[in-house]
Structure 1
């Protein structure tokens, strides 16, 4: 998880509305829709991100999770492990990664202001997982200021159990960059941003890229899903 000082970018995106306080993160005590599809990603047994199963053998996450945080080099796929449905330290399925595909326009920056808007990657697993655990995606969704979302993630404070941040709000959008009031923590990179409305099943609309500072407050930045980007990643893989 990156912490970015994106004040200039966010100020340019922000509409003229009051900023609402982000709610506290809550540890999940009861099962929620989509929980089985979300898992912890371990890279080299150390670095941690979050990912979501979007087909029986594909996991969606953030592209910067494919890079060693110290060297800035892209890691080999076989050092990444997806622990699906991890709860109380026990996963419903554990798989190694066979290949990785990042957004074709993503360029990794080791230090400084990171690229946003293209921070997406697909991980192909060595073996598929139950198709019942797949989280549906909503591509090319037009999110607007004030829309309600939820983020389901694993963090350094809750490594063995998922944390649901809900409700949080869309603050601004531009192209594929999404600024949200969701108060995520380190480890939430790649976590699914979910549209959860009226008791309907959740749909994945974005992926968490970073925490960011805005006016002394912490917000989160995500990359929205487009059919074109997903198709390009699939072709690349």
Structure 2
């Protein structure tokens, strides 16, 4: 006769569980907000605008310096080259939660220029370094995220062919330039929903700084698979990596924020001791990046991205075989004339930066 009471009791149990989960999420949000230096929130128009994300040709620089970190056939993350033999990625990508152990270097493989199961530039991992103090946590944890980095040492000097990204610390001056629209933030990686193509999003806005400046919050659209990807800065005609994506947070129903580990962590002036030592043990230097070497299969100019952006802005009609050089040159010249730029008609990384700026609402 007690069966009729079972359903209400179960309902109360389910409700209690939901309330507990809701309280846990709220606690995380409040903890993040309490420790966050917030910038002005995005406007309603920014939150509702169509996603600014395009497929890019992974065999064109700077995208060629970004690749997939394949982990023992059990998933992938993104990583990026910062030197001939060194890749930055997130430490949690190297942990096997099923078995409960750190993967060995032999289980890891880095692939640059990966697009639809086709890859030419790849290397096994000879070794890697990570913070001994990092503790894997499957749930979003800002404290753990601020310690979530790893440097992979490749068996092959892949950077000579793929190129690599320069690394830069995002100082207050550059933050002001980003806010003023004089510099641009981007993110590119191998998302879970499009794991076999690289996509890039741009015009990301900084949303805050937490964990004593170690973690930057931004509104790029990032999901699983983007972990380990770079937060890119385009300024003064060059691309730099300024952060390493480690965590996703949801602060509002329509506002998902990505958390990136600031690369200032590795800077010899003010960085964290173990990160500074790990980078100093490599050949990586705080300098501009490097284009793919002469004769490499990776292109030094991102023609595909430039063509797609010209088409997006209405300057170029894309055809099945791709535009002719003359058509591209004419489109670029018109774009430069209408935007007050010196006319060259020639594609370049700097021109791509101008196109990205022009594509920003």
User: More strand by proportion, 1 or 2?
Assistant: 1
Q: Which residue number in structure 2 is paired with residue 178 of structure 1?
A: 216
User: More helix by proportion, 1 or 2?
Assistant: 2
Q: Which residue number in structure 2 is paired with residue 134 of structure 1?
A: 164
Q: Which residue number in structure 2 is paired with residue 233 of structure 1?
A: 278
Q: Which residue number in structure 1 is paired with residue 105 of structure 2?
A: 77
Q: Which residue number in structure 1 is paired with residue 141 of structure 2?
A: 113
**Which structure carries more relative contact order (alpha carbon 8 Å, separation 6+)?**
1
Q: List per-residue Cα deviations over 1:20-54 (Å, max 9, x = no partner).
A: 43552322269764111000111012211000011
Q: Is the 8 A contact 1:192 1:206 kept in 2?
A: yes
1:144-183 to 2 correspondences below 5 Å: 144=175, 147=179, 148-174=184-210, 175-183=213-221
Q: CA separation in 2, counterparts of 1:218 and 1:225?
A: 22
Q: Which residue number in structure 2 is paired with residue 190 of structure 1?
A: 228
Bigger Cα displacement from structure 2, 19-28 vs 120-129: 19-28
TM-score by length of 2: 0.58
How many residues were matched structurally?
Answer: 233
Q: Does 1:7 align with 2:29?
A: yes
Q: List per-residue Cα deviations over 1:157-179 (Å, max 9, x = no partner).
A: 22121110111111111321111
Q: 5+ residue gaps in structure 1?
A: none
Q: List per-residue Cα deviations over 1:186-228 (Å, max 9, x = no partner).
A: 1000001100235x22100000001111112211111001214
Q: Is the 8 A contact 2:229 2:244 kept in 1?
A: yes
Q: CA separation in 1, counterparts of 2:42 and 2:59?
A: 30
Q: CA separation in 2, counterparts of 1:61 and 1:197?
A: 23
Q: 5+ residue gaps in structure 2?
A: 1-23, 283-361
Larger Rg: 2
TM-score by length of 1: 0.86
RMSD, matched Cα: 2.6
Q: Is the 8 A contact 2:146 2:215 kept in 1?
A: yes
